Amino acid sequence: MTSTVEGILANYAGETPGVIGNLRRLMLHGRLGGTGKLVILPVDQGFEHGPARTFAPNPAGYDPAYHAKLAVESGCNGYAAPLGFLESIAHEYAGRIPLILKVNNSDTLGGPESPISALTSAVPDALRLGCAAIGFTIYPGSEHRNVMYEQLRNLIREARDVGLPTILWAYARGKMPKEAETSVDVIAYAAQIACQLGAHIVKVKPPTGVVWQEAAKKAYESIPTETLEERIRHVVQCCFEGKRIVIFSGGASKGYDAVVDDIRAIHAGGGFGSIVGRNAFQREHGESLKLLSDIMEIYEGA
């Protein structure tokens, strides 16, 4: 145990011992264990985007075991995936790294205007597989968002009762332009919604400098948002003044230096860490390990 981790967990004092224990398990595991920072490897993109788009850049990734091995080798705090991937590797990796079951998923075969993910697994599956947490996606902005919020209410209650925390992917999506999905006001709003719904860890995308909501523009005149560091600091502030763990996705595939630059800004802005998928596992294995190592080195900095 470290004072840093225990200080973060003190913000969850109303939670069950099981939830606290599994949050502690995540935060004490891997290279960043004890620092209060998290780097998680998520591999749900095969379901979300299709196998060729996801794994063809590094064909080793078609094998579910590749990703679990990468997460362990690199020293990640945890590994997140849908049911099928976890079922294929849990017998070997449960107990070696905290596993996170992504309990809802969607595909790209339907229309984008009213997204909603299907419940593809359940809390008993997470227990059976030895998981440390469940993951769930909401789409603020979708016309189906209230259905997702109600599903999440029940799932968080069920998971909490058996000691599992919930990591919430909060991705604004629906009848809005692409630039709105990552605008600073919408990202901050999605993060606040996630906290209000009871998420223990919030995952959002790094925000751009766009302010999309007309009603929010006046408020943002007095909020510094020029740099990514400033925008990260604002999103953290919107997560109960930093009393909830908020981590940031790696986003779309991009160059090595661009990924590292984003991580530096996330760290400087007070983000709790990163959940990096495609930008890690789509690279050649040695480069993947180097990138994850460089990311963790940044988070290890004072």
Q: Is residue 254 flagged as an active site residue? A: no
Q: In the predicted model, what is the mean pLDDT of residues 163-189?
A: 96
The Cβ of residue 105 has, within 10 Å, a number of other Cβ atoms equal to 21
Q: pLDDT band for position 258 (50/70/90)? A: very high
pLDDT in tens, 20-74: 999 999 999 999 999 999 999 999 998 988 999 999 999 999 999 999 999 999 9
Question: Does 110 score more than 80 pLDDT?
Answer: no
Of the chain, the percentage scoring pLDDT greater than 90 comes to 92
Can you give the pLDDT at residue 251? 75
Return the closest-CA partner of residue 25 out of 43, 9, 41.
9
Encode pLDDT of 185-221 as tens digits: 999 999 999 999 999 999 999 999 999 999 999 999 9
Residue 108: predicted pLDDT: 83
Lowest-pLDDT range of 177-181, 224-228, 251-255, 267-271: 251-255
Domains located in the chain, CATH noted: 3-300 (3.20.20.70)
Q: Which two tokens stand for residue 249?
A: 């996705």
Residue 132 has pLDDT above 80, yes or no: yes
Confidence of residue 112 (pLDDT cuts 50, 70, 90): low
Active-site pick, 203, 205, 217, 290: 203
Is the distance from CB of 15 to CB of 200 less than 8 angstroms?
Answer: yes
| Residues 156-178, mean pLDDT to the nearest whole number | 96
3-class SS letters over the chain: CCHHHHHHHHHHCCCCHHHHHHHHHHHCCCCCCCCCCEEEEECCHHHHHCHHHHHCCCHHHHCHHHHHHHHHHHCCCEEEECHHHHHHHHHHHECCECEEEECEECCCCCCCCCCCCEECCCHHHHHHCCCCEEEEEECCCCCCHHHHHHHHHHHHHHHHHCCCCEEEEECCCCCCCHHHHCEHHHHHHHHHHHHHCCCCEEEECCCECCCCCHHHCCHHHHCCCCCHHHHHHHHHHHCCCCCCEEEEECCCCCCHHHHHHHHHHHHHCCCCEEECCHHHHCCCHHHHHHHHHHHHHHHHCC
